[in-house]
Amino acid sequence: MSTQNKAYELLAEDLQAKGIDVAAVKAALEQQHIETPSWGYGDSGTRFKVFGAPGAARNVYEKIDDAAFIHQLTGVAPSVALHIPWDKTDDWDGLSAYAAERGLKIGAINPNLFQDNVYKFGSLAHTDDAIRRKAVEHSLECVEIMVKTGSRDLSVWLADGTNYAGQDNIRTRKRLLEESLSEIVAAMPDDRRMLIEYKFFEPAFYHTDLADWGMAASMARKLGPKAKVLVDTGHHAPGTNVEHIVAFLLDEGLLGGFHFNNRKYADDDLIVGTSNPFELFLIYNELVSAAQETDPRVADCAANVAYMIDQSHNVEPKLEAMLQSVLNCQSAYAKALIVDRAALAEKQAEHDVLGGYRVLTDAFETDVRPLLAQVRLDMGLSPDPLATFNDSPYPGQVVQERGVADGSGGGYPGA
């Protein structure tokens, strides 16, 4: 027996002694699904500078190749989100087939409502009818793309907002936005969903039309069962208790999905779980807890959450960064799955304040690497995806084939 398997055996024994069903934990880890974003494979930058990255994907086909590589290494990243028009093609059947040949599905479709010149003062909430119409039409085109590609989720993020008090009428904008979103949601087949993403600032700095989870949730409720809330972990003020928001939305049956990334100060779009692994664990802890709920509304909501990464790798190697992101999600999920829930409930019932905390930290501090290595072996994968990544010819090949683009100016290039 290898050392690694021995470490797994010891851990499994330990977990079993606590009454944790290790087979169920492993099955859940095999089923984990993290969607990677097409835009994470292409060149991107800060508003100061876009540095061309050697081997960065230059078109949607190359982005799909890269996403397939990450899925091959991890086995848990079987879909890729697209951004329209960045990833637009006139052959959606061909693109879907290209993805399917590589073991991938097309994930969320993201309309671009922030890069056209006419969107300077807003898109779906713009007070000019013609501009609002353009934004609605673009979103409706994205709904058609969803149908053509078999995508389940339309992921809506708006740059809409104002920079100064008095710049515009907040309530008028709210009503216009509601009208626009209603038209879009009405055009969606019943088995598709609209995920509403909120963000409290940037690019607008005084007010953002959908600034927080509460506004997104009110909007989703009005729009009906197809609309849910998307939590981008980077879109909160510093210090916000994100796991609380997650728990609340799950309990309301309103959580639709995530954009995972790591924020230190603003909307940093860094590799998920790098500086806040405890927060990522606590988020997964709420999801695991909700999935085990007896109330089917909550359990169904948890079962349908879309786990997506939304990152922009500006100085870190893109493929390695995406791989690290998926691995960090696996690790956080594994730790959440091994929380001793019976002990936690007991401590909570006894109002044992620190007892409950210790049940959580006991799981958080457990080294789950041997467990994940065993799960990967059982899936027929390398137990150490980073080592396999380093040995793989693929990253070098793409540098050869694609070269380095000239860094363009600042801003989100979307190329």
Q: Which two tokens stand for residue 97?
A: 């087939």
Q: How many residues bind to Mn ion according to rule CB under 5 A?
A: 4
CB 51, CB 78: distance < 8 Å: no
Q: Which one among 259, 318, 335, 347 touches Mn ion, defined by CB under 5 A? A: 259
Does residue 232 bind Mn ion (CB under 5 A)?
yes
Question: How would you write 376-390 as a 3-class SS string?
Answer: HHHCCCCCCHHHHHH
Residue nearest to ligand RM4 (CB): 157
Report the nearest approach of ligand RM4 to the CB of residue 301 (Å).
21
Nearer to Mn ion, 259 or 347 (CB): 259
**Residue 73 or 217 having the CB closest to ligand RM4:** 217
Q: Indicate the residue among 65 and 310 with the shorter CB distance to Mn ion.
A: 310
Measured CA to CA in angstroms, residue 334 lies from 31, 34, 302, 365 at distances of 12, 14, 16, 11
Burial of 209 (C-beta count, 10 Å sphere; 0-12/13-18/19+): buried
Residue (51 or 412) nearer to ligand RM4, CB: 412
Least distance (Å) from ligand RM4 to the CB of residue 281?
22
DSSP string, 208-262: ETT-SHHHHHHHHHHH-TTEEEEEETTSS-TT--HHHHHHHHHHTT-EEEEEE-B
State the distance between the two ends of the chain, measured CA to CA, in whole angstroms.
49
Q: Please list, in sequence order, all residues whose beta carbon lies within 8 angstroms of the beta carbon of residue 313, skipping any fewer than 6 positions away.
A: 40, 44, 53, 271, 321, 322
Between 92 and 200, CB nearer to ligand RM4: 200
CA angle 196/200/205 to nearest 5° reads: 130
Residue 259: CB minimum distance to ligand RM4, A:
5
- Residue 286, interface with Mn ion (CB under 5 A)? no
Q: Report, in Å, the least distance between residue 289 CB and Mn ion.
A: 24
Which residues lie near ligand RM4 (CB under 6 A)?
A: 110, 157, 197, 199, 232, 259, 267, 310, 412
In the bound complex, what is the minimum distance in angstroms from residue 235's beta carbon to ligand RM4?
7
Taking CB within 5 to 8 Å according to partner kind, which of Mn ion, ligand RM4, none is near residue 110? Answer: ligand RM4
DSSP state letter for 3: H
Q: Which of ligand RM4, Mn ion, none binds 36 (CB below 5-8 Å, type-dependent)? A: none
226 binds, among ligand RM4, Mn ion, none (CB under 5 to 8 A by kind): none
Q: How far is the CB of 159 from ligand RM4 (least distance, A)?
A: 8
Of 394 and 412, the one with the shorter C-beta distance to ligand RM4 is: 412
3-state percent breakdown (helix, strand, coil) of the chain, nearest 5: 50, 10, 40
Which of 310, 339, 359, 370: binder of Mn ion (CB under 5 A)? 310
> From the CB of residue 23, how many other CB atoms can be counted at a distance below 10 Å?
9
Residues in the chain, overall count: 415
The answer to whether 103 and 190 are in contact (CB under 8 A) is: no
Please pick, from the candidates 65, 66, 209, 267, the single residue that binds Mn ion as defined by CB under 5 A: 267
Per CB under 5 A, residues contacting Mn ion are 232, 259, 267, 310
